[in-house]
Chain A
Amino acid sequence: MTDALLVAAGAILLTVAVGLVRVLYGPREVDRMMAVQLLGTGGVAALLLAAAATEVAGVENVALGLALLSSFASVAFVVASPRADRR
């Protein structure tokens, strides 16, 4: 059962890595930001699976931290983007 969890975590990381192709080819910055957002959520899912599989104590808190920080990255991107009204 635990190796099934680890296989699922690996599968999620693999698919998110494929999703990062959008960061390379994304015509617009917004697409790149979406790929990073998917990486954040995928990372959280993989961490949770690893936490359940390996029963290590602190891994869920790492997933909590990653979930928090991945949203800050997108907010920073949106706030830093050129706004019609401010400039």
Chain B
Amino acid sequence: MSAALDVFSLLAIGAGVFFFVAGTVALVRFPDSLSRLHALTKADNLGLGLVVIGLLPRAGSPLAALKLVVLWALVQVSSATVAQLIGGALRRRDAET
């Protein structure tokens, strides 16, 4: 049973790392700021979410697992808000220039 859990967490963490790599490649390669912002927030939220899902079975107590999920929810909320703010700042700068 624990081997299955290990395989599951390895797969989830591997997918999380893959999404981080995708987010970074998108950040470096995409031509336009808005598309970079879109790809970046999608990829790193998903990357962190998958890493947290991969770590859940390894968490000692259910409380530690809950702490991981709460941390991921905090990053989700803050990252979404920041993405809206950066998008707004981007639009204002475009309006000015």
Contacts and interface: CB of A to CB of B under 8 A. Distances in A.
Q: Do A and B come from one complex?
A: yes
Interface of A: 1, 4-5, 8, 11-12, 15-16, 18-19, 21-22, 28, 30-31, 33-35, 37-38, 41-42, 44-45, 48-49, 52, 60, 63-64, 67-68, 70-71, 74-75, 77-78, 81-84
Please give me the 9 A-B residue pairs with the lowest Cβ-Cβ distance, nearest first.
A71-B78, A19-B24, A74-B82, A41-B44, A78-B85, A15-B24, A78-B89, A45-B51, A15-B21
B93 to A, nearest CB: 7
B72 to A, nearest CB: 9
Interface of B: 6, 10, 13-14, 16-17, 20-21, 23-24, 27-28, 33, 36-37, 40-41, 44-45, 47-48, 51-52, 55, 58-59, 64, 67-68, 71, 74-75, 78-79, 81-82, 85-86, 88-90, 92-93, 95-96
A2 to B, nearest CB: 9
Contact of A42 (B13, B20, B74): B20
B36 A16 contact: no
B86 A22 contact: no
Given A45-B51, A84-B92, A84-B96, 16 more contacts: A1-B10, A11-B21, A12-B17, A18-B28, A19-B28, A21-B28, A30-B89, A30-B90, A34-B27, A35-B27, A37-B41, A41-B48, A49-B13, A60-B64, A68-B74, A74-B85
